[in-house]
Amino acid sequence: MLEIGTKAPDFELPDQDGNMHSLKSYRGKKVILYFYPKDNTAGCSKQACGYSANAPQFTEKGAVILGVSKDSVASHKKFADKYSLGFTILSDPERQVIESYDVWKEKKLYGKVSMGVVRTTYLIDENGIIVKANDKVKAAEDADKMLLEV
């Protein structure tokens, strides 16, 4: 996980509609940048729906929500349509951004060790500096907690 107070690495990734997004294009706004393991899984769906439900409040506070996983643009499109998500999800199949934000880690599940995305949320300020970082995310509570931080 990246340290609070450091400059957030810039990136350019496609969203669920194939449109490109870069972090620098959001200068002047707060950015909730959250990394999640996989589209259409229970926890990831709860987390995304929480952000979608709170999207108007984030907008009122001058914040943008960007979700990132290694799923494809097509997978993101189906996920966004299925849950009528009201924010942007970015596709990083090459894991360039996932690795630059230090969220690709060894995970253990039922004794089995594998590599994967550790659910992590960053709050980046208007100047591109990380002001909050959480890698102990509870999917169903993440959006509500971050809304209090913005």
Q: Which residues of 19-39 are buried (b: 16+ CB within 10 A; e: fewer)?
A: eebebeebeeebbbbbbbbeb
User: Phi and psi of 143, rounded to 5°?
Assistant: -60, -45
Q: Which of 115, 4, 106 has its CA nearest to residue 70?
A: 115
Secondary structure element (H or E) that encloses residue 14, with its range: strand 12-14
Active-site residue among 23, 33, 44, 97?
Answer: 44
Active-site residue 49, yes or no? no
Q: How many Å apart are CA 109 and CA 98, to the nearest integer?
A: 20
Contact 123, 31 (CB under 8 A): yes
| Catalytic residue positions, numbered | 44
